Homo-oligomer: A and B are copies of this chain.
Amino acid sequence: MILRDPVHGLIAFESAESAIVERLLDTEEVQRLRRIRQLGFTSLAYPGAEHTRFAHALGTAHVMLRLTHRLRDIQHGLPQEHWLTPDRVSDALAAALLHDLGHGPLSHMFEDALPGSDHHEVWTSRILLDPDTQVHRVLSSHDPGMPDRVAALIAGRHPLTYLSRAVSGTYDVDRCDYLLRDAHATGVRYGHFDLDWFHRSLRFGPLPADGSPPPLAIDGAKGIAAIESFVLARLFMFQQVYFHKATRAAEWMVRTALSRAVRLIADGTRLPGTPGAVASSAAGRTPSLGEYLELDDGVLANTLHRWESSPDRSLADLCARLRSRHLFKTIELHGESAASPQRQALALQTARDITSANGLDPDVFVGLDFATDTPFHDHKDTLVVAFDHGTTRRPAEVSFLLGRLDGHALTRVRLIVAPEVREQIVEALGS
C-alpha cells in the first residue's frame, strides 16, 4: 500500500510486518475516524483545519514505521531480548494506528459534558477487546494475543519501555504526527520541527544494571536542537491554535449545549434528533459500544441543527449561533486576575450578574475557561541526552532554552460571554 500524504509526502506499508496496517484500515471502526475532524471547531478560526483523525492515524503509523527503522539501525549493541522482533513491530504499528480509535467528536467535551461518560482511552480499549468489532477480528486473526498486546501497548504497558513511550510519551509518534499535521492544515508556520533529524539523533542510553531495556536518548552533539524545536513547536501550537479564543469559545458552547440537553432530557423534555449515546447518558446509562460508534462530526452537527428547533430557548439559541458561527466572545484575565482563584471567581460573578441583568441565563451565556499546559517538564521518563564517552545528562541541564522553560506552565484564563454583554462586562471589570 502506498499513499500520498500532504505532511509526510509518501506513506507506504509494503513489508510483511506492516501488512496489518492495510487490513486494519479496511475496518469500519477505523473508517469512522474519517468522519471526525482532528481539531474539532478549530476550522472556525483556521479555515484549513479540516483534517481528520483518520489522516492522523495513518500518519502516526507512518511515523512509527520510520521510528522502527531507526531503532533497528541502532539496536545492534543491545542484548537480543531488547530487540524489535517482527511481531513487536506489527504490534507497534497497530498501536500507533489505533491509539485514537475511541475518540468521539470533540471528545474531551463529550467526556466533560455527559454525566458518567468514559474517557476516550476506555473506549479505545473497549473497541480493541470487544470480539464483535472488525478491528478485534483483524487483530485476533493475525494472532490471538494481539488485541490484548496492542491495548496494553496503547495503555503504556510493554516489556520494552522505550517502545511504550514511543506510543505514548513526551516525544511520542502521536505528537510527532499531530504537530506537523496541525501546522500544515492551519498554516501556522511556527509549528514545524525536523522529524528526520529527530529520528536520526536517537541513540540508546546506557543499559540499566537490572537487565531492563535501555531508555532512548538523544545524541548530545546533534540532537539538542531537535528536541528544542519539538518542544517549541508544541508550545507555539498551544499558543496559536489549541488555546485559540474562538475554538475555546465554540467548544464551551457545545459543551454547554450538551449538558443542557442532557439535563432537559433527564427532566423529561423530548428532544428529537438526539443520538442514542446522548440519550443513554441522560438516562444514567453508559452508552453501548454500538451507540458510541455511531457518533461522529456529522451526527453531532445534525443533532445541534435539530436542537435549533428545541422548545428550550437557551438550547435553541446556542445551537443556532454555532451553526451560523456567531460565537461567544472571550475576555482574557491577565496578571493577578488570572492567577488567583478568588479573583477569577469574582470576575465570573460580575459577569454572571451582568448577564442576568440583561435577561440571559447566566448558566448558558457566560462561563470561565481555564486552559493550561506545561511545555516542558524534565522528568525522569523523558529522553536523556547521551554524550560520546557514555555520560548522560538531562535536557534542561544541556539546553539553554529548555533550562529556561523547565516546569513553567503556560496558562490562559478567560471569561466566555455572549457578544451582547461583552462591553458591559469589560467595563465592569475595568480591564
Contact = CB atoms under 8 A, between A and B. Distances in A.
A361 interface: no
Highest count of chain B CB atoms <10 Å: which of A58, A190, A200, A325: A190
A301 interface: yes
A297 B323 CA distance: 15
Interface footprint category on A:
35 or more
Interface of A is mostly: helix
A225 interface: yes
Contact of A55 (B26, B48, B301): B48
A31 B43 CA distance: 12
Interface string A33-75: 0110100000100111011101100100000000000000100
A31 B48 CA distance: 14
Contacts of A31: 323-325
A46 B4 contact: yes
Given A10-B196, A192-B189, A324-B31, A404 B400 contact: no
Contact of A2 (B5, B200, B239): B200
A192 B183 CA distance: 14
Contacts of A73: 14
Interface stretch (A115-123, A154-162, A204-212, A228-236): A228-236
A277 to B, nearest CB: 16
B43 A47 contact: no
A339 interface: no
A400 B239 contact: yes
A200 B3 contact: no
B47 A5 contact: yes
A197 B43 contact: no
Contacts of A236: 225, 228-229
Interface in A136-179: none
Given A7-B187, A298-B301, A225 B196 contact: no
A188 interface: yes
Contacts of A81: none
A240 interface: yes
Contacts of A52: 43, 47, 50
Give the 7 A-B CB pairs with smallest separation, nearest first.
Answer: A6-B187, A6-B48, A298-B298, A47-B55, A4-B187, A50-B50, A404-B404
Interface of A: 2-7, 9-10, 12, 14, 26, 28, 31, 34-35, 37, 43, 46-48, 50-52, 54-55, 58, 73, 184-190, 192-194, 196-197, 200, 222, 224-225, 228-229, 232, 235-236, 239-240, 297-299, 301-302, 323-326, 400-401, 404-405, 408, 410
